[in-house]
Amino acid sequence: MSGRGEPATSVGTAPVRTDVGSNFVSNYPPYSFWTAAQLPAVERALDTPPAAGVPLGLYVHVPFCRKRCKFCYFKVFTDKNARQVEDYLEALAREAAALAARPALAGRPLSFAYIGGGTPSFLSSRQLRRMFGALREALPWDSIEEVTFECEPGTLTRPKVQAIREIGVTRLSLGVESFDDAILAENGRAHLRREIERALPWIREEQFDQLNIDLIAGMVGETWDSWRDTLARAIAVAADSVTVYQMELPYNTIYSRSVLDGQPTAVADWPLKRAWHDFAFRELEAAGYEPSSAYTMVRGGRGARFLYRDALWCGADLLGIGLSSFSHIGGVHFQNLAGWDAYVAAIGADHLAVERAFATDADERLTRETILQLKHGRIEPGYFREKFGVDVLERFGPAIQALVARGLADVREGRLELSREGLLAVDQLLPEFYAERYRNSRYT
């Protein structure tokens, strides 16, 4: 494949058309198996002191946006007034303080924090300082190594970028998605290219440890010409890392509802999206970037890291605060209440604001780390032997042999390595590693 206009071939038995449903794998077992019946496991996990050596991270969900993207499936709000925003920040502070007192978390230092959404940069500089002040007061912050903060370009001003740096953000993740105004508008993005270009000098002035920009391959209206132009502009930014996602149609998006209502949406098919993704990686490699995962390229010599990602893929604990946020503590997955009124009421009444959970067993934890680490493009068996006492190549032998037979992976020098074709389709390959009862199920 030249990467200059020829679509990639289909990967094995992977789907060609982009149908409604989740493709991106972020956890295991699938979320559809998490239930309210397992909520007692959350209380037990929070009341159990942590195992030695397990890192702890923090995720904070800021659910406000100027506009809802047509492909967005996250819990976000575009209609909250100033008073409601303040109420939410108060709820975040109360939740953080209450959880920080539980035995699983008390006095436990944070290794990393991720502020996501929604649009964290929707908040004013004053609100950001207030939120970070409350988090620092509730949780041990001094040893934190990485603080990631998601931004939408149109919400940034020079004073706000300065405030984001002052409160301790080390990695700024800029949601560019595309540099084409027509594509941005069609897909419901709130910003335009000029707002990206306006914000970049402010970001450079503050000298963040790492600037990441996000792109999406296959947005509605994308063409080879527009994608080439977006890649050229992205490379010119000279960000420390570039993350490329392939457009999908999860349930509960504007586009997905249109498709389910019988109104087809022109999202590129999977072979074409993989071709665009491959083109992006090739262009970035030519510009001095190196693969860091199936989605991310990092500039050589800049020391760009993704502590949040790598720690979670190796079984770190994660405390999620805010409505709809996800946590993983002591082998128990759980998700906060997704409804605004329910979440605010629960926190106001000093209750645990959790709606569903899943307590994993040892084999599920092994599988989770295996499939998530495969997103790096390789599996190091020594890690799994030391941590789980398992030969991972033998444990998942049939799935690995199937990948090798299809030319999507190879076993070299005792470790599994995906081919470029396998890496670009990794999320569609991971269900082969699932236990039988989790296969062919709805992911969320």
Q: What is the DSSP string of 361-393?
A: -HHHHHHHHHHHHGGGTEE-HHHHHHHHS--HH
Q: Are 112 and 134 in contact (CB under 8 A)?
A: no
224 has pLDDT over 90? yes
Residue 87, CA atoms < 13 Å, CB-side half-sphere = 14
pLDDT band of residue 443 (cuts 50, 70, 90) is confident
Q: Are 388 and 366 in contact (CB under 8 A)?
A: yes
Q: Are 377 and 423 in contact (CB under 8 A)?
A: yes
**pLDDT per position as a tens digit, 50-91:** 999 999 999 999 999 999 999 999 999 999 999 999 999 999
CA proximity to 242, closest of 180, 182, 184, 177: 177
Mean pLDDT of the 335-339 span? 97
Strand partners, 324: none
Mean pLDDT of the 104-118 span? 97
- Give the C-alpha separation, 59 to 115, whole Å: 6
In the chain, domain spans? 34-240+304-311
Q: In the prediction, which pLDDT does 14 show?
A: 58
CB neighbourhood size of 168 (10 A): 14
5 has pLDDT over 80? no
Q: In the prediction, which pLDDT does 3 show?
A: 32
232 has pLDDT over 80? yes
Q: Are 29 and 438 in contact (CB under 8 A)?
A: yes
> Is the pTM value of this prediction over 0.85?
yes
Task: Answer whether the bond into residue 5 is a cis peptide, omega within 30°.
Answer: no
Q: In the prediction, which pLDDT does 9 show?
A: 34
Mean pLDDT of the 313-332 span? 98
CA proximity to 324, closest of 141, 112, 72: 72
The residue among 7 and 236 whose pLDDT is bigger is: 236
171 has pLDDT over 70? yes
Q: In the prediction, which pLDDT does 162 show?
A: 98
Contacts of 302 (CB under 8 A, 6+ apart): 210, 240
CA proximity to 71, closest of 225, 229, 226, 268: 268
The per-residue pLDDT of the chain, averaged, comes to 94
| Six token digits for residue 219 | 């947005």
11 has pLDDT over 70? no
Q: In the prediction, which pLDDT does 263 show?
A: 85
311 has pLDDT over 90? yes
- Give the C-alpha separation, 216 to 245, whole Å: 5
Q: Are 292 and 243 in contact (CB under 8 A)?
A: no
Mean pLDDT of the 347-373 span? 98
Q: Are 57 and 113 in contact (CB under 8 A)?
A: yes
Architecture of domain 34-240+304-311: Alpha-Beta Barrel (3.20)
Mean pLDDT of the 117-136 span? 97
CA proximity to 420, closest of 404, 409, 432: 409
Mean pLDDT of the 353-382 span? 97
